[in-house]
Amino acid sequence: MPSTERTMHISMAITQPDSLGSWRREVSKAAEFASLDYWVKIAQIAERGKLDSLFIADAPEADMDALRTRQVPKLEPIVLLSALATQTSNIGLVGTASTSYSEPYTLARQFAALDHISGGRAGWNIVTSFLGTRNYGVPLAAQPDRYARAQEFIEVATALWDSWADDAVVVDKAAGIFVDDTKVHPINHSGAYFSVEGPLDISRSPQGHPVLVQAGASATGRDFASRHAEMIFGAAPNIESAQEFYGDMHRRIAAVGRNPDQVTILPGCSPYIGSTEEEAHRIREEALSLIDFDHGLVTLQKHMGNIDLSGLDLDESIPPDRLPADTSVLIDRQSRPQLYKDLALAPGSTLRRMIEVCLSHNGHWNLVGSPEQIADSLQEWFTNGACDGINLLPAHTPDGIEIFVDEVIPILQRRGLFRTDYEGSTLRDHLGLERPDAR
Ligand SMILES: Cc1cc2nc3c(=O)[nH]c(=O)nc-3n(C[C@H](O)[C@H](O)[C@H](O)COP(=O)(O)O)c2cc1C
């Protein structure tokens, strides 16, 4: 962020707006997951808090192991964000889409359309996907190949967004000219993965390009993010790993000739918030008491690189020989299994605690406290080189979102750490990002 007085950026993930036990809490309205009204309420609470953006994660499959006890059913991101675009006016709309299972022309026109209908609030969380192979009939490519395809995918999508000059649409009724076709050009791309002639069939959108977001954390993932991402989502259970990631990404971004200040780095943060610390702990205990440990073990095994943890004592630590030897050789994900391995090897770690971590906040930064305590912790990370803000992963809803917006945000605003109103109307305005010129 431009180094005038820095203020935090806060995005909110609304994919599974309840950590995995919380949907069973009395107050949770998770059962309304297919109603637009449910999502509009969440989006409008977030916009009331002047949050930068809403984020929808996605994986193109229904996890059969999780179907019974987890709220797996979800609306497709671009469809949901398009609907939310009509019920909100400022908040950014970031959706996940895969470069492994989509085509550049399709995604380029979908995000350009979302950017047009939202008045410039679209963002794309670029994933190479580690799930979904069975629904697309293609084997999961090795990680380097997935990122190589993603690299070309971004080049093609960007060229398509730039295939119209900003002033190509003229609508000159007298002359009978709708578009100045001298300002629209094919891209004629032919590469290892894609052959795309173009141009795009929609004029250049308000932001030029949707904001590009990425969440890879392995060496290859970080390299990709350093070249393309304007907003980076991270996963860090403690301030030390957040500072390591933040510092390393700034070095990598500078090393490829980009300005680190033009990239916003947001670790996930999953807080249990109560009006008092005691209340927050009560909510956490309630959510944890609703966890299904048998199902939790299955999920943890997957997140740790598809290892076998069966037959182990819940209240003992995981024996090191049951942990993945080298996470850098894993084909689907590398960074998250490494994060869990580090947590499993930490003193005092038990299998039960690992399952709670996995099901309640998936290894992200977890907080429990009053609004004042939550604000203090966010300020500590923000002012000590660990982040530019957070990607809020609500641990309990709707109460956790309401108390964050109505009690934590005002504290951050009083401390001059968060905006009191939106600076502009586009997501790029909120993030202080320049609008890219058509190349
Ligand atoms: C906050 C956050 C959100 C993510 N959202 C998604 C998602 O929606 N879909 C997905 O396939 N992967 C998602 N991921 C996973 C990353 O895109 C990436 O695949 C993973 O971090 C492995 O990266 P690596 O290949 O660099 O190890 C997310 C990761 C983080 C930290």
Mind listing the pLDDT tens digit for each residue in 344-403?
999 999 999 999 888 888 889 999 999 999 999 999 999 999 999 999 999 988 899 999
pLDDT at 2: 42
pLDDT at 72: 65
pLDDT at 17: 53
Least confident of 48-52, 138-142, 247-251, 311-315: 138-142
The pLDDT > 70 percentage for the chain reads 97
Give the distance (Å) from ligand 1 centre to CA of residue 43.
Answer: 22
The protein residue whose alpha carbon is closest to atom 9 in ligand 1 is 58
Q: How confident is the model at residue 227 (pLDDT cuts 50, 70, 90)?
A: very high
Domain that holds residue 100: 9-277+365-431
Give the distance (Å) from ligand 1 centre to CA of residue 103.
Answer: 19
- Our count of domains for the chain comes to 1
Read off the pLDDT of each residue in 329-349 and give the average, rounded to a whole number: 86
Give the distance (Å) from ligand 1 centre to CA of residue 365.
Answer: 15
pLDDT at 3: 47
Which of 100, 233, 304 has most ligand 1 atoms within 8 Å of CB, for mutation?
A: 233
The verdict on residue 188 lying in a domain is: yes
Give the distance (Å) from ligand 1 centre to CA of residue 410.
Answer: 31
The verdict on residue 308 lying in a domain is: no
CA 260 to chain CA mean position, Å: 19
pLDDT at 1: 39
The verdict on residue 360 lying in a domain is: no
The pLDDT > 90 percentage for the chain reads 76
The protein residue whose alpha carbon is closest to atom 20 in ligand 1 is 216
Give the distance (Å) from ligand 1 centre to CA of residue 215.
Answer: 5
Residues with CB under 6 A from ligand 1: 57-59, 96, 125, 127, 129-130, 143, 215-218, 221, 233-235, 268, 333-336, 391
CATH for 385: 3.20.20.30
pLDDT at 210: 98
Question: Which tens digit of pLDDT belongs to each residue from 148-207?
Answer: 999 999 999 999 999 999 999 999 999 999 999 999 999 999 999 999 999 999 999 999
Q: Which is more confidently placed, 288 or 418? A: 418
The verdict on residue 287 lying in a domain is: no
CA angle 333, 433, 245 (to 5 degrees): 35
pTM for this predicted structure: 0.94
Give the distance (Å) from ligand 1 centre to CA of residue 4.
Answer: 31
pLDDT at 259: 96
Nearest atom in ligand 1 to the alpha carbon of residue 147 is: 25
The verdict on residue 321 lying in a domain is: no
The verdict on residue 40 lying in a domain is: yes
The verdict on residue 341 lying in a domain is: no
pLDDT at 18: 55
Give the distance (Å) from ligand 1 centre to CA of residue 309.
Answer: 23
Which of 125, 133, 246 has most ligand 1 atoms within 8 Å of CB, for mutation?
A: 125
The verdict on residue 332 lying in a domain is: no
What the block records as the tokens of 63 is: 């996890």
